Chains A and B, each alone.
Chain A
Amino acid sequence: MTRLFWWVRTNSQKYLLEAVQADLAQRYLGRPPPVGRPSLQRAFWKYVFVPLYRRLPWNVKHTVIKAMPGSHHRDWSAR
């Protein structure tokens, strides 16, 4: 299960970053987006996951992200 959450976070982070890097590269530098090796997995994250994620409001995204396992579910009440 740990491996699954790691896989989801690693891939979602990578492709969400790539999408915003594409926007910023164009806006600030006039450069093309990051290059990646074409694959079915890449196509899924890029063309299905990223557009869906971007449609959600931040509070929904935040709730989903925080539901993943991690140190934040342990006691950090001294903050």
Chain B
Amino acid sequence: MAREIVVIGGSAAGMGAAGAAKQVDPEARIIVFTEQQDVAYSPCGIPYVHGKEIDSFDRLILQGKKFYEDQGFEIHYETIVGGINTKAHTVSVPAMGDVRYDSLVIGTGFQYERPDIPGVDLDGLYWVRDLRNAERWDQLLDGVKTAVVAEAQPIGVEMATALAHRGIETHLVDPHPWAMAEIADPDIMAPVEESWRELGVNLHFNTRLEAFLGTDKVRAVRTSDGEIAVDAVVMGTKKVPNNRLAAEAGLKLGSTGGIIVDQHMRASAPDVFAAGDAVEVPQGFTGVPVQGLSGSHAYAQGKVAGSGAAGKLRDYQPVYVPWGLVGGKWMIGGVSFGEALAGALGIPFVLGIAEGISRARYYPDFKKIRVKLLAEPGTLKLIGAQLVGGEGVKERCDFLAMAARKGLTLHDIAWMENVYSPAMGALNEPMALAAQNGLSKAR
């Protein structure tokens, strides 16, 4: 009899799991439940369609529904799972009754933190999440003259840039002294702020949101610094795990609110796996669990979970969290810890900073890049990095995450070999310069 694998969630984690399960056990019956009208699209691309860098939402869809039908997946769109019974090995689906599983993968993703202020349920507040809602909002944005982006978490940063590109008068309101202050350092975000000002974005840092005002639809935002009249508000708040189902099923949750999993992405009940924004995994240097990583983390975790659900256990590893995004005209990124996060936890570090360029200084369109490396005192092992630049940020973050994973030190990076080709790379690699700077401080 074919193994029955139920997957809850049709995003990166869920579809990664479904695909991996099919690879491991082609005979398995794979049933996917998703609340949305589509599966396997890239929600991370939504701000770039709003900003007109990408011309259509269709481009964000990786595969159409027919593809999954042809592959033998049983996908139930716009279907809400009401509960999980881990003892009976069933999920309850209002329209279908109890659906039995041999193994279950939970990929329920995230939800946005809702600010505890009046007016948060008004119309006109845009929570950027699913494709169809984004399409509807894209049409509405054509009629928007003034918008507030409420908080400068990563989605807020991307949406402030997108709205400004679109010519909307944009106000970014955040209680912190700089954008993405829980993740990025102020010197990394300074060029982004400058480019936002060039784009006409009105920055309201050190400013608290106090209420969304209006009767049915939002017409203004009250802040600690006064009122801003708006046509729409884009919510840029923090992502938190969407774990109601898991919690009600009695699965163990950690201090982040994420589902507790082991290296095989197994949750705390037999034959239940979990992946993506709903889970927490250990950070490599500290061992402390972290949650809410990127789509690529969710997809890889989904693959591990789906493979296990189909009978072949694979190993996921503690994470070093390379990240990156575009803010204004700059690319920003990092690995694990910056000064803010390491400082908050109280992790001691040696700092190396350098500014370099992305190509030879005489080659057209070279871009500046600032690299900041954090290393453990004594061993000088890399524990974190932050970067801002015009290009080459992603590749350096990927490299530095692997360097941290493998225990490379500032000594290793300071005298690393690097590509020198005028159109692709400068003589002096900025990461090496930052490591050299760190070494001179460590002496």
Contacts and interface: CB of A to CB of B under 8 A. Distances in A.
Range, interface on chain A: 35 or more
A78 B255 contact: no
A68 B190 CA distance: 35
Interface in B270-324: 279-282, 284, 286-289, 315, 317-318
Given A34-B176, A71-B281, A74-B263, A20 B344 contact: yes
Nearest to A55: B346
A66 B254 CA distance: 11
B226 to A, nearest CB: 14
Interface stretch (B37-45, B200-208, B392-400): B200-208
A15 B16 CA distance: 36
A69 B284 contact: no
Contacts of B315: 78
A72 B340 contact: no
Given A17-B182, A23-B343, A76-B263, A6 B175 contact: no
Interface string A8-41: 1100010011011111110011011111110000
Interface residues of B, number: 49
Interface of B: prevailing SS = loop
Interface of A: 2, 5-6, 8-9, 13, 16-17, 19-25, 28-29, 31-37, 53-54, 56, 58, 61-62, 65-66, 68-79
- What are the nearest 8 A-B pairs in CB distance? A70-B254, A25-B177, A74-B262, A20-B343, A70-B289, A9-B255, A78-B315, A16-B344
Interface of B: 175-178, 181-182, 185-187, 190, 205-208, 224, 247, 252-258, 260-263, 266, 279-282, 284, 286-289, 315, 317-318, 339-341, 343-348
12 contacts: A6-B253, A16-B344, A17-B344, A22-B177, A35-B224, A53-B346, A56-B346, A70-B289, A71-B279, A71-B280, A73-B260, A74-B263
Given A58-B347, A70-B260, 19 more contacts: A2-B253, A6-B256, A13-B344, A16-B346, A17-B341, A20-B343, A31-B206, A32-B177, A32-B206, A34-B206, A37-B208, A58-B346, A69-B254, A71-B254, A71-B281, A72-B289, A76-B282, A79-B317, A79-B318
